[in-house]
Structure 1
């Protein structure tokens, strides 16, 4: 008998990866949850035979219906949509930053998922896309990494309020998206003809968890379900430093490697014109520099530690498979 996995955010990158992988597994069926069932991505999924239900993470009753009959729920919440939405500023309380608002919204979403999942009859597994609590693991030094803290505190809510659900839960902490490289990441050409990468001071030599989300996250979620629940998985395709990664990228693209150009957090903020986003990402990088992407949590394991087959993308494979024409065009 096939098992039903209900995928929250199936039209997004993470949910789409889980759907793509599980659609290849004969012992699984899929139900996707989306707020926008008429979007092009949703229509494409429907054409592929993947059933969708309209539900909203801000509406717990809609989640209860969408979760009915699930063996497994894959949960991912949304910090960034209101951050990008220009209408969000009108919703802020006096003295509230947009990042704080997004934190509150995402934490509420995570709690709503937990509340609905806890009442789902027959549910066997819950896999939560999360990150570590940067405020806690830094001892209060980095309190502005809101998209980390919201996800971590939603996981804590499950453990504190629903111990039976927590016993069915596994966590996947998704690494830095490899697709960010297509955004150019501050790559520029100097007068000497060499290519440079701007990074925040001191962040160049630490290994960073990197994830080819479309290809690999679904595989990691499947691996998590093949072992006992309770795992806290750093869902990385590989770990690599900016220094090593950028030198390799230049070599694979036939470019003269100039090295890293260190900048301050304040300079980094100016690279990202969306208010609040540059500071958020910059503080995340500083937290990872000082405490590690996972905060140094000793419970964290890598996909390779699970003891099941989980093929992942290497950096060289990723670079060779991507079209870099738009990035390279900007360097001419």
Structure 2
């Protein structure tokens, strides 16, 4: 008689991060069955996952009871929060506009921490839970001072501390610091201050507040992230790991864009003030600080408790590290034009 499969619950399974984990486990981890959470089980993406054999259930990170229901019977949980989504959420915008929070980044941080604590409190009520993987970040402000104060990094780090201080989760929580996703610039051109040609300037512009020559850590999210999660599920709890496929400078990424698009692109290194002045909420300042941290210090380089990617990959041969240059070459950059 075949052994019963363990249950892995993947939060926000229709998102880019969640779907990367789901697809890896479908292809490479047959000992698990998968339940995915989503806001709308009738969406096209949810139905597509259902057609692959994924059990899709409705859950909201602001509704702890829906999380408890979604986690029932779980052996493992992959959990993450959407920092950009928190900044766009009605609750955060209302908290900022009403004066409850002094800025939109502060409101987004409060919402993200609340969501993360709901995940922890719900998971603590699941007696079958063996391991939870939290997609986290180092606490940039605590580790390196106010120069790198970023609401996303602060909120995820605070949630990790909360999870590991929850008695029912002791020894069960592993954290992964995912490097910058290789598809980030094409999905979010605003991150690199992407500016199209004008009547007076015939070049495309990249305007950034970090050193474009600095080597940055990257990961091919769709191809590789699931393998790191799979390895962490087999690792004793309370481990934090950097998940990095390789390094490449922004200059070299932009050179790839030039070749692929066949256009002239000029890089301008600007001040953080200039970078953040494109919108009034303060969010772009935090984006700039996050990218400066990554360019200056890597992902977990300043965190003495984080296992380096090379070290973890040596002891976990199943971890996949796609060639980063080839990953950038394979991207369809045409939407940037």
Query: Structure 1 length normalisation: TM-score?
Result: 0.87
1:290 to partner: Cα distance: 4.7
What 5-or-longer segments of structure 1 have no aligned partner?
none
Match of 2:26 in 1: 23
- The answer to whether 1:243 aligns with 2:242 is no
The CA RMSD over aligned residues, in Å, is 2.6
Match of 1:158 in 2: 163
1:189 to partner: Cα distance: 8.0
Q: What is the distance in 1 between the residues matched to 2:22 and 2:180?
A: 20
Match of 1:99 in 2: 105
Query: Would the aligned equivalents of 2:206 and 2:266 in 1 still touch at CA under 8 Å?
Result: yes
Query: Would the aligned equivalents of 2:139 and 2:157 in 1 still touch at CA under 8 Å?
Result: yes
- The answer to whether 1:70 aligns with 2:77 is no
Q: What is the distance in 1 between the residues matched to 2:216 and 2:272?
A: 18
| Corresponding residue to 2:175 among 162, 171, 177 | 171
Partner deviation per Cα, 1:258-302 (whole Å, 9 max, x = no partner): 66321111222245x473331110121233345443361122224
- The answer to whether 1:110 aligns with 2:116 is yes
Q: What is the distance in 2 between the residues matched to 1:250 and 1:70?
A: 47
| Corresponding residue to 1:211 among 216, 219, 223 | 219
Query: Would the aligned equivalents of 1:73 and 1:126 in 2 still touch at CA under 8 Å?
Result: yes
Moved more, 93-102 or 69-78: 93-102
| Corresponding residue to 1:180 among 178, 184, 192 | 184
CA gap of 1:314–1:249, structure 2 versus 1, over 3 A, is farther
- The answer to whether 1:317 aligns with 2:326 is yes
What 5-or-longer segments of structure 2 have no aligned partner?
none
Query: Structure 2 length normalisation: TM-score?
Result: 0.86
- The answer to whether 1:83 aligns with 2:91 is no
Query: Would the aligned equivalents of 1:103 and 1:146 in 2 still touch at CA under 8 Å?
Result: yes
Match of 1:50 in 2: 54
1:254 to partner: Cα distance: 7.5
1:227 to partner: Cα distance: 2.9
Query: Would the aligned equivalents of 2:242 and 2:309 in 1 still touch at CA under 8 Å?
Result: yes
Aligned length: 323
Secondary structure of the corresponding residue to residue 23 of structure 1: helix
CA gap of 1:69–1:86, structure 2 versus 1, over 3 A, is closer
